[in-house]
Amino acid sequence: MSRIVFFFQEALRALKRNGAPSLAAIVTTVVTVVLLGMLIPIFQTAQGKSEEVRDQLNVQYQLYDDATKAEIAKLRGELEAIPHVAEVTFISKSEALSTLKEELKDDSIVEELHTNPLPNSFEVKADDAANLPAIRAAVYPQGPQGEPISSIIVKPFDRQQSSAKIEQVTSALKIVLTVITALLILASLMLVGNTIRLSIYTRRREVEVMRLVGATRWFIRWPFMIEGVVVGFVGGLLAILILWLGKITVVDPLSSSISVLSAQNNSTLGFPALVAILFAASIVVSTIGSGVTLRRFLKV
């Protein structure tokens, strides 16, 4: 127990004596954790929104008005039998008109119509947005200009043409955000490691003297690792405080009016879990960084 107390006393004494490098390590940890604390929710929100958009993508096919119930039922069965089709929904003329009224801000446009110009249609959803082209090819085996699998199909809606672009954009967004997150994590680890290395480098003579007088490697290493724990603890605590203040003053008040910000409330990784992970990571990285960096100076 006395040795542990001695290690803590040495670590605190070294932190006070080497204030500038220690402060630099703490500030670096704060900046790193805050950046990660902001980027991870942004990545989760963007990924969630991307999946939401992808789930809403579908293929819709307009039907002739004189199609019988038997023909519609037969076509439904054929569509459901296509590979990768997750759901087939029949949308009647009245349902389509009701949906149009809900989407339009000015209902008078619809009320002026004496007849319902909207057609019956089938909405086909895929198990994955990437499989939509395969479904379109199955409905039109001979290509877009060819004959469909059923004579009651008039044409596909124009919406399906934009769905491919949306699917490409969301896929590219996921890749870009993944690469940015990985680069930031790598840069953060290197930045924290270099700062800790600078702190230890300023005390390399002290380490060499202790080795020359017979101190063991772990006897020298423990105070430095405890310093890493303290630096990670203080830096992580300050970063979490900043993130918490940003959440209650900026994110939460605006989440009711900005859908992108409200999406972070539905993310798989909640704020308490994110805080716990960042706090533990800041301590672990600082501790390991101190121990690993010190190794080169122990070779005397």
Same domain, 12 and 70: no
Same domain, 48 and 83: no
Same domain, 200 and 238: yes
Same domain, 264 and 235: yes
Using pLDDT thresholds of 50, 70 and 90, give the confidence band for residue 162.
Answer: low
Asked if residue 159 belongs to a domain, the reply is: no
* The Cα angle at residue 189 between residues 281 and 177, in degrees rounded to 5: 90
Q: What is the mean pLDDT of residues 51-74?
A: 82
Same domain, 184 and 293: yes
Long-range contacts of 70-74 (CB under 8 A, 24+ apart): 71/150, 71/151, 71/152, 72/120, 72/152, 74/150
Q: What is the pLDDT of residue 107?
A: 61
> Which carries the bigger pLDDT value, residue 144 or residue 137?
137
Q: What is the pLDDT of residue 266?
A: 55
Same domain, 279 and 174: yes
- State percent of the chain over pLDDT 70: 68
- Average pLDDT of the chain is 75
Task: Give me the number of domains the chain comprises.
Answer: 2
What is the Cβ-side half-sphere exposure of residue 175, based on CA atoms within 13 angstroms? 6
Asked if residue 215 belongs to a domain, the reply is: yes
Same domain, 128 and 190: no
> Which carries the bigger pLDDT value, residue 153 or residue 193?
153
Asked if residue 83 belongs to a domain, the reply is: yes
224-256: pLDDT as tens digits: 777 778 888 888 899 889 888 887 887 777 666
Using pLDDT thresholds of 50, 70 and 90, give the confidence band for residue 15.
Answer: low
**For residue 45, is pLDDT > 70?**
yes
Same domain, 195 and 269: yes
- Supply the CATH number for residue 80's domain: 3.30.70.3040
How far from the centroid of its chain's Cα atoms is residue 43's Cα? 3
**For residue 259, is pLDDT > 60?**
no
Structural domain range at position 102: 65-151
Question: Do the beta carbons of residue 64 and residue 152 sit within 8 Å?
Answer: yes
Same domain, 257 and 173: yes
Question: Which of 122, 151, 180 is the last residue before a domain boundary?
Answer: 151
| DSSP one-letter string for 134-183 | HHHHHHSTT-TTS--SSTTEEEE-THHHHHHHHHHHHHHHHHHHHHHHHH
